[in-house]
């Protein structure tokens, strides 16, 4: 299960994210998204948990939790939307 975590503090590290989720089950990966020019956190990330029931338990427990003054949002990640391109002909 891929989990989206938003409203993280900009100083939040991957290790912090892992430590937040590890008590709910096995984590196969964790990522904090960074700005490609500044390498600064964008304040959101993803946690992959292979066991769906453990992921759902983590979402229920962590959504709305205050972490260092930030109320985080924890939801199941949605697949990226397909971009559609329209082309105009003259």
Residues 39-77: tens digit of each pLDDT: 999 999 999 999 999 999 999 999 999 999 999 999 999
Q: How far is CA 45 from the centre of its chain?
A: 3
Q: How far is CA 86 from the centre of its chain?
A: 31
The residue among 51 and 84 whose pLDDT is bigger is: 51
Tell me the average pLDDT of the chain.
93
Collapsed DSSP state (helix, strand, coil) of residue 17 = helix
Other Cβ atoms within 10 Å of 35 Cβ, number: 9
For the chain, first and last CA: distance in Å? 46
Cβ–Cβ < 8 Å for 1, 48:
yes
According to CATH, the topology of domain 2-70 is Alpha-Beta Plaits (3.30.70)
Residue 70: closest CA among 5, 21, 23, 3: 5
């Amino acid at each position: 299960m891929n989990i989206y975590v938003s409203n993280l503090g900009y100083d939040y590290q991957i290790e912090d994210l892992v430590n937040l989720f590890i008590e709910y089950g096995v984590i196969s990966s964790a990522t904090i998204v960074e700005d490609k020019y500044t390498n600064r956190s964008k304040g959101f990330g993803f946690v992959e948990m292979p066991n769906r029931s453990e992921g759902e338990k983590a979402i229920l427990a962590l959504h709305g939790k205050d972490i260092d003054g930030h109320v985080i949002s924890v939801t199941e990640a949605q697949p990226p939307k397909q971009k559609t391109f329209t082309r105009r002909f003259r």
